[in-house]
Chain A
Amino acid sequence: MATNTAVQGRIAVRPRRSAGLWSDAFGRLRKNRLAILGLILVMLLLFVGIFGPLIAPWDYRINDLAAVAANGNRPLPPFSPNHLLGTDTLGRDLFSRLLDGARISVSVAFVVQIVILTIGVPVGALAGWFGGRLDNFLMRLTDVIYAFPDLLFIILLSVAFRETFFGKALDGLLLVFVAIGITSWVTVARLVRGQMLALKETEFVEAARAIGVSDRRIVLRHLLPNGIGPVIVAITLGIPGAILSESTLAYIGVGVQPPRASWGSLIAEGQKYVRSEPHLVVFPAICIALALIGFTFLGDGLRDALDPKLKGKQ
């Protein structure tokens, strides 16, 4: 690397290793050990979530009643012959069910965020760009939704629609996605609006207007690429919340129903046996914890990488 400015052509440009801001950010991310750990956990979860059924030794619905009976009508413990992590009272293989739980969590993670983006980004962008009465109206709307007790609302929705087609679709998952999504888009909307407001006043946007660039192009070409950083971080950090919400719902019996095995419902089922067969609760709990940790570390790392000024501060 050159140690000094060499006059290349007419004007010297300081030689730099990196080009765009994204690659700079990625470089910073790579140096952050916790973030890499988080990334690994997330990739693991994704892999398992997508390829779960292929690697599961058992179909999660199968009841290996014979094995249970052979065990004195008690759930099998971990490291049993055919069941790596043991079974539940009905002989369903825990490992396979955990994999199914992973599928559910992954789909919650991503589908919910898509719902959030679909509602939150346009609302925030419209409010931020147009301002005035539209902004006022949309913000009051978000205030109302924000004030809602999320969990109660989700439970209400779930219970109300449980018996309908909508409630039964995808084993109850569709209801969960929509319910969680509807209550969680507010943060992203506010974030996007804030970004719009700030970026609208920047000089490069003013320059674009001076050139005569259309509003639509300004939003798409200038505002969104610049504003997307915090949104990515918010999405990543919002996933743990979604997973936890879904687990909580499953735990209290709403949302995904057995034989589908959300980690939360596994805990609910296993809590009766927590003294004698703790593995039924411990393993699902570990899974939830790892998923949460993974996304949180990754999200923190992304935040630091995309905006190094915030590092060290909370």
Chain B
Amino acid sequence: MDQLTATIGASAALRPHEAANLVEVDDLKVHFPIRSGIFKTVQGTVKAVDGVTFDVRRGETLGLVGESGCGKSTIGRAMIRLREPTSGTVRFDGVDLTTLKTGALRKMRRRMQIIFQDPYGSLDPRMTVGSIVSEPIETHHLASGAAKKERVAELLGLVGLDPKYVSRYPHEFSGGQRQRIGVARALAVEPEFIVCDEPISALDVSIQAQVLNLLTDLRSRLGLTYLFVAHDLSVVKHISDRVAVMYLGKVVEIGPPDQLYAAPGHPYSRALLSAVPVPDPVSERKRKRVILKGDVPSPVNPPPGCRFHTRCWLYERLGKPENCRTIDPPLEVLSGEHRAACHYAAEALKTDVGIAHLDLSSSIRRGTPDSALALLKAGKAVEVTEAEKAAAAPAADTGAAG
């Protein structure tokens, strides 16, 4: 285990660029043509990702949230060139991925990996766990023979699985364990960047926490950078350093989660946040919500101007201003790192709509460590340091990811 982390650390030292941005996405578009008829003529285009620009900094976790059809899964895959971008560029550590040839791309794949959502579909049912985890090692000729076996055992241990199960098949494991196998597979090549595509959505609630802890532990141990794609806003807030909200193929808001969740600048973010149920009956009874009407428009024909204006409560409230219908708002700075793509973000910020405030007087049981709550009550800012994190965990929950 230490050998593994030492290797990653060493290769990090050897890297020439220590640029702050590990991944740079520039005006990325991924369009899928819709073909029909005998001659398969193109009838329309699904604009899954329609002009997205952002960076992922080295060592950070960028959370990507949105509902179905927003393009978040497509972006994750396009960023590691598992889907071909239609236009725009993706630069990984300065190298433009979109123009790489097969051989160079394969070498690059060592540095970026992906963890999938479906624990049942993402593992080949006819391969043993050992073969699944060794396949990346073999593909990149990282080790062979006994060294390879050792590596596989290390990796399994790293994700909390007993190495003696190396000759078992995926169907013998539970969903949470299969996800761990998937994580082990992703780590086998010693990547720097991992796209986590809804890695815990398909798991039971109590298992989600286990796997989430595993991902955060690995992140700090191995110095990983994550793109965390999810639809669960609570999970994303927990794990991310910055959060980007997507709607219909574009990023509509991006910023540090504390700021974004407490004071969202984009009306869609407000609606999204207000829709999330909080396990707190007192809060639920009091929260004022935005209930959006209708369904998400199709990515084939996004509305003109601002894509959200057809469902936007602020648009209605402000009397349907014309520029919402005609001009697509760019991402503009609200404060510091926090940016939103709305002509009237300032107005949105003034309202009270959609936010769930942390009620310090509430006696509803929650997972936040009491020490942190005490600090908040005392009016102090809270930075949950390593020490506090350790103190927060009850005695029975130590060490290896469960």
Contacts and interface: CB of A to CB of B under 8 A. Distances in A.
B172 interface: yes
A204 B82 contact: no
Contacts of B185: 207, 211
A21 B136 contact: no
Interface stretch (B119-127, B245-253, B356-364): B119-127
Contacts of A21: 125-126, 169, 171
B168 A212 contact: no
Given A210-B82, A211-B189, A203 B118 contact: yes
B174 interface: yes
Interface string B93-128: 000000000000110011001101110011111110
Nearest to B137: A211
Given A13-B168, A209-B82, A225 B109 contact: no
Contacts of B164: 8-9
Chain B interface SS verdict (over half):
loop
B118 A11 contact: no
B388 interface: no
A208 B113 CA distance: 11
Nearest to B80: A210
Interface string A2-27: 00000011110110100111000000
Contact of B126 (A8, A9, A214, A225): A225
A38 B171 CA distance: 30
A222 interface: yes
11 contacts: A9-B163, A11-B162, A13-B162, A13-B168, A16-B172, A203-B118, A207-B114, A207-B182, A210-B80, A212-B105, A222-B124
Contact of B139 (A16, A204, A213, A226): A213
A226 B124 contact: yes
A208 B161 CA distance: 22
A307 interface: no
A14 B177 CA distance: 11
Nearest to B165: A13
A208 B174 contact: no
Interface string A209-232: 111111001000110011000000
Contact of A10 (B110, B140, B160): B160
Interface in A180-225: 202-204, 206-214, 217, 221-222, 225
- Residue of A10, A21, A214 with most chain B CB atoms under a 10 A cut-off: A10
Interface of A: 8-11, 13-14, 16, 19-21, 202-204, 206-214, 217, 221-222, 225-226
B162 A9 contact: yes
A270 B58 CA distance: 85
B344 interface: no
A9 B402 CA distance: 11
B114 A212 contact: no
Given A9-B164, A10-B162, A226 B125 contact: yes
B123 A204 contact: yes
Given A10-B161, A19-B169, A208 B135 contact: yes
Contact of A212 (B109, B125, B171, B172): B109
Which 9 residue pairs are nearest across A and B when measured between Cβ atoms?
A9-B162, A212-B109, A203-B122, A212-B106, A203-B121, A204-B124, A211-B136, A225-B126, A210-B114
B186 to A, nearest CB: 8
A210 B169 contact: no
Given A204-B121, A210-B114, 18 more contacts: A10-B400, A11-B162, A21-B125, A21-B169, A21-B171, A203-B116, A206-B116, A207-B114, A208-B135, A209-B82, A211-B135, A211-B185, A211-B189, A212-B109, A212-B110, A221-B135, A222-B124, A225-B126
